[in-house]
Structure 1
């Protein structure tokens, strides 16, 4: 019998990291409930994910679902010049998925019975034996283990490390997708089998194909375009959406003020490689992600743990955000297995290596961002700029 048979776990946050954690804890014998703050099933706004080994490990080792059915591959990494010429190309295979595709696959494995929408955690208390989580709704959940996987604005992080605050990077990411069939044949041909970069002064864009809502056969072309916006009034004005609400980490599709969208499209056509510019200008509803850094100085306290962006949110340049959350979850499951039922001991063992991993990742992506956005030293083909959670290309 499992050492955790009959034990209860509460996972706060029902996104990709939270669901991966919940599935692994359930496999250990925990009775697991997931509490997601949003009142409706999550929507990744069509965004893409670069699949790294930790991200897909659940599907490779435990699930009956085929990871190839969730993803699209490319064979090259390439850099384009202002005339669509290929100035550098490496043969390097990557696979990608859409956020929504991956989320729905994990949720299908977990099921809906213990997945609770519209539950916003607002407080927590613990003693030696139990943790109690309080929710805005008035609901309370008691558990032997609580894992906060509630993202970059984590309530759990504010409780464990109130001093850990978001630090704005100095730039935002414009994001969006376009159905591949809506692009010109020349652009489809150039971009279809590669992750493509267009590097311009103080900026760069990354473009790659992801599965559409109906699967890999109906691909979307996905991009992130990093653009400098000074902190202060200029950023504050941009982050007021069409409803008059102020965003802190993003402005959703359809809500970015038209004047900013118009300026972004005009600048894309002026500066970027034409293929990349076509993807940007044909996006019906681009959206904005504020690029920020945050890292908690602790990831565990008693029977409470932080994972993924709740513990440390890294800039997207290493394409390692979902991989970091999954790596945290797998390492936690390993520590719990070794601890043979002693949850606090498992968390103490687990925490140091995960803190070190997040520190290394944040240092690396900060340096990558500085090279692109401020120092103009993002050099095509530089191996230090490769994706990877554990290091460039790894």
Structure 2
């Protein structure tokens, strides 16, 4: 299945009337102002809530140039409720291909995908939400769930109380252990090296080979995925960036700790940002790329000015609802990136929450009771699948070029939309 076609939405102003006034006069607080938090904030406001989004960072977020595979759930806000032109946010490719050590195509499958860059998409969501109720430098440190209201305490000492609190604060969520004390993070055994290079800086042969495809280079116990994304200045060929993530095994303990130690001597926990990876590790990365990867993929890695890395971690909470507080996206379940479904899952959680609230006709606790089970099921299914994908690639060596069971997709390999939607109205009637 390919992504649905997107069309410009130019007739609906960004100040459009809410889709519903069911929750007029009710308040929602969203913790975490990234893509998942902004999507939730926009959807809750769209059904009548007064919404405030609180972001712990002190300034507007940036995604270090990271790419996002645009699945329908992710893009849905811009297709259905925004006047922003979805096509202005995305690049697309026509093929999925696997390359060998001579840049020969081992497998090629015609399959259309769309992509954006993290920063491009975040800025578009923030433009729709606005900054009046988007609060920077607001780190949540504690919360108290209640049957009808929940409250959040912030690092500066002030607190906020709301009818609904949404924690969309990512893999390091301050609330997850209160939902599920057993939801401990588990290291996968490998990290993802990431980076981008302007397409214009690549050789003609590499551009011709990879500019219209998702490209894979699979080597023993490792693989790299590459695809073009929008640049800071637009989506045209001269502005696009070639984005990649290269998964490499690193033993837990001293080897991982050393890799996560920055040039200034600080040790990260889940990532090392651009410009902070030790030079010795960058030299090894580039040498290994030239030695192992398809030459076109190696060229992209070698020409990356500041590669950075993220630790691949598995986390899933067995609960997403406590009182009138919920976990959403990576705060509830952080799945390995192999299905390219992290942002899609966060958006799907938010859209499902909106649907459940509308069906419940003002009964927030009732809506949350019926929202939670299908979202937990979706998280479990996704995490199970991506763990299998990672194990096959990084340890078992059974990922083969063109394998149809190893495709992107939130709901299954190559599946971007569910075959059926939960019937929230029927569930709410019996809640």
TM superposition score category, shorter chain reference: over 0.9
Aligned partner of 1:264 in structure 2 is: 285
CA distance in 2 between counterparts of 1:98 and 1:232 reads 33
CA distance in 1, matches of 2:367, 2:267: 40
Q: CA deviation at 1:338?
A: 0.7
TM-score (norm 2): 0.91
**8 Å CA contact 2:67, 2:115 repeated in 1:** yes
Q: Does 2:382 align with 1:356?
A: no
Distance 1:288 1:126 in 2: 35
1:334 counterpart residue number: 355
Runs of 4+ in 1 over 3 A off after TM superposition: none
Q: Distance in 2 between matches of 1:73 and 1:108?
A: 23
Larger proportion of strand: 1
Tell me which of 69, 82, 98 is aligned to 2:101. Answer: 82
Alpha-carbon distance in structure 1 between the residues aligned to 2:323 and 2:144: 10
Pick the aligned partner of 1:104 from 123, 128, 131.
123
Distance in structure 1 (CA, Å) of the matches to 2:379 and 2:344 = 11
SS at match of 2:191: strand
Deviation of 1:162 after TM superposition, in Å, equals: 2.1
Quick one: which of 235, 243, 254 aligns to 1:216? 235
Query: What SS does structure 2 have at the residue aligned with 1:393?
Result: coil
The structural deviation recorded for 1:163 is 1.7
Pick aligned residue for 1:133 from 132, 141, 152: 152
1:65 deviates by 0.6
1:302 equivalent among 320, 323, 328? 323
**2-side partners of 1:349 and 1:104: how far apart?**
32
Match of 1:202 among 221, 230, 236: 221
- Give, in whole Å, the separation in 1 of the partners of 2:244 and 2:397: 20
1:205-284 matches, cutoff 5 A: 205-217=224-236, 218-284=239-305
Q: Which runs of 5+ in 1 are unaligned?
A: none
Structure-1 residue corresponding to 2:21: 2
Kindly indicate whether the alpha-carbon contact (under 8 Å) linking 2:353 and 2:368 is maintained by their aligned counterparts in 1.
yes
**Cα deviation code 1:1-43 (max 9, x no counterpart):** 7231010000000000000000000001000000001111101
2:84 equivalent in structure 1 = 65
TM-score of the aligned structures, taking structure 1 as reference length? 0.99
Contact kept? 2:148, 2:323, Cα under 8 Å: no
Look up the match of 2:114: 95
Q: CA deviation at 1:126?
A: 3.1
Instruction: Determine the structure 1 residue equivalent to 2:336.
Output: 315
Unpaired segments of 5 or more residues in structure 2? 1-19, 416-431
May I ask how many residue pairs the two structures share in their alignment?
Answer: 394
Separation in structure 2 between the aligned mates of residue 264 and residue 46 of structure 1, nearest angstrom: 19
Q: 1:47 aligns with which of 66, 76, 95?
A: 66
